[in-house]
């Protein structure tokens, strides 16, 4: 299985996320799940309570065992708190594996 979330480059007030915070999140993903893939920044927006939030974020993908979905969800919630977010995107997809060569 693969879980996907997005890591913003700026908080909801428009302040840049410190590199140390992003690095902490990535190190935690690596420590908990054995690795990750971080995509290039992309722009997006969403509306909550009549307020429009425009943001730039990077797609974070992590391969996990099926029994670790709850742990992945907890990681995304923790990451959102570290990034001072109001909400976080979380997607679970079937498939994906790491193949030893």
For the chain, domain boundaries:
7-92
Identify the CATH number of the domain defined by range 7-92.
3.30.70
The whole-model pTM stands at: 0.90
- Say if strands 37-48 and 51-63 run parallel, antiparallel, or are unpaired: antiparallel
| pLDDT of the chain, 101 residues: tens digit per residue | 999 999 999 987 888 999 999 999 999 999 999 999 999 999 999 888 898 888 999 999 999 999 999 999 999 999 999 999 988 999 999 977 778 88
CA distance 8 to 5: 10
């Amino acid at each position: 299985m693969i879980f996907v979330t997005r890591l913003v480059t700026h908080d909801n007030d428009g302040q840049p996320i410190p590199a140390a915070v992003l690095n902490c999140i990535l190190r935690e993903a690596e420590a908990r799940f054995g690795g990750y893939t971080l995509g290039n920044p992309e722009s997006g927006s969403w509306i909550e309570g009549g307020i429009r939030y425009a943001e730039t974020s990077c797609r974070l993908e992590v391969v996990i065992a099926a029994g670790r979905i709850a742990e992945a969800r907890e990681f995304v919630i923790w990451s959102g708190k570290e990034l001072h977010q109001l909400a976080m995107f979380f997607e679970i997809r079937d498939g994906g594996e790491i193949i030893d060569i």
